[in-house]
Amino acid sequence: MATADSPMRTELPEQTHVALPGEKQTGSIDPNAELQVTLLLRRRRELPELHGKDGDKPGLPRERKHLTSAELAAAHGATREDIAVVERFAKEHGLELCEVVHQQRGVMLYGKAAAMERAFGVGLVNVEHRRGKYRATVGTASVPQELKGIVRAVLGLNTRPCARRRTVHHENTIAPFWSVREMADAYGFPAGIDATGQSIALVELGGGYDEADLQQFFSSMQMAMPAIRWVSVEGVQNAPATAEQIKLFLDVVEGKRKISEVPEDVLCAAQSTVEVTMDVELAAALAPGAEIVVYMAPNTEQGIYDAISMAIHEAKIPSAISISWGEPETGVGAAYLSSVDEVLREAAALGVTVCASSGDDGAMNGSTDGTPTVNFPASSPHVLSCGGSSVQEADGNALREAAWNCTLHGLHGATGGGVSRHFETPQWQQEHGVPLAPTGSNGRGVPDVAGPADPHRGCAIIVGGESCSSAGTSAVAPLWAALVACMNGLLGARCGYITPTLYGLAKSGVNPFRDITQGDNGFYKAGQGWNACTGLGSPKVGVLIEGLRGGK
């Protein structure tokens, strides 16, 4: 058999397993295990550049032209010739080409583990870690020379988790500060705002929501039950924790039980259920009339890529996607970063605004090398990166905020933010004082915008039948996704790739942001203009809408 370094094969760039600290191999996988992988192929034509020299211009929504799904597939999918070469490769190695996916860009292959090992020149092993059991590759994946340049990445050989949620978070620990409606009023959402005809996609990695919680929540808001549906990605189901499990979780968070008294799988299920339910309730309450579509996906490279791709290629393209998870850039492989950034670039080209949370662990963000690191996908230049604030005062029209950084019941949380080590500084950030990355290089600054994340000032949600407080930058991403859906309806045009526009508006006479100048995230300090804690600041919604209309 030809090896990965044989002249008959070519290694795939940076296609290696990035180990989690403390993981332990437990042996080779069953050679007869059935696996499914996704091959991402080269495009017949690269996607248009979206954040180059012209990206610094405001580019109001009505001035933009977005691709359709059909145009994307026709102009930027793989060629039939390349797909035919992949099909021959699959047959030669005992694999089945089961589907061409992702608007003609991806090919799904199915087959036994032993055949996958031979096809891609790697070993496959089982791994155990405190975050779960998963599969990993040994060696760098490679393909035969005839596929050189055709295959850009293989997703699905590795199944290590690619997004973190804390074992215990802040939700459900104190009485809510305000209702969703009161929060919307404080930030200037227009009275009677309506998002009918819009849709918001939520990417979720485990847990689920209970319809009884949603009915109770919207009844308390005196709102009609919105249109909510969920979509299974790779067989993952909507699987909410039980009320009893959520109660155990609350007891741990509130100090009534020791964490060792509750099984880790119970804590994980309850935590994930709180996150999913919070996303659904906030997005739907802030964007009345919008359809909410929840993509339940596995926490793997392949699952995350597939969920985003499925969402943007629905028959009805969503207005916005909310992503309330992430992993430190230093903790995932470069091939994964590039692959997911590429599908986020597709979303931008299609006119979908992707809102991603900047993380809840401050500037260090679970760094593995002792220096600050940012969350991905929040660090992608194709998303709107959402950081967290702490509301200090909310009295009528007066709203004063600081960077979120607090301790509650012994649990510390702070807004993520900093400078990317992987993505260069986009043109539209270059005049906003982004510091150098820890490596000394230029990089994309995180976050772009902010919203309320402090559990002391969270708004009321309902989960497990109990009223509790929203918290974390996980609550900020759905807020901004809902705002985008509302603005799409008001403006009669897609905001789409709004991030460069916001930076342009911030430099103009129509600054739609409230500066957050107090606080820090453990390394960076808040301050005037853009900063690595709260970005450009929190939204003055009325001013933002007028700015996007082109008003002065």
**Annotated catalytic residue, options 309, 358, 474, 538:** 474
Two structure tokens written together for 74: 């026709």
Rounded to the nearest 10 degrees, what angle do helices 476-491 and 264-286 cross at? 20
Phi-psi region of 453 (alpha: psi -120 to 50; beta: other; left: phi over 0): alpha
How many residues belong to the chain? 552
171 catalytic, yes or no? no
CB 543, CB 510: distance < 8 Å: yes
Contacts for 303 with CB less than 8 Å, ≥ 6 apart? 205, 233, 234, 236, 297
- DSSP-derived letter for residue 95 is -
Query: Under DSSP, is residue 495 helix (H, G, I), strand (E, B) or coil?
Result: coil
Output phi, psi for 292, to 5 deg.
-110, 120
**Annotated catalytic residue, options 56, 204, 210, 279:** 279
Contacts for 249 with CB less than 8 Å, ≥ 6 apart? 168, 172, 241, 262, 266, 267, 270, 271, 274
275 catalytic, yes or no? yes
Residue with tokens 């760094």: 367
Question: What is the CA 349 to chain-centroid distance, rounded?
Answer: 17
> In angstroms, rounded to a whole number, what is the distance separating the alpha carbons of residues 500 and 495?
11
Question: What is the CA 290 to chain-centroid distance, rounded?
Answer: 20
82 catalytic, yes or no? no
User: One-letter amino acid identity for 26?
Assistant: T
**Annotated catalytic residue, options 204, 275, 306, 327:** 275
Catalytic machinery residues:
275, 279, 474
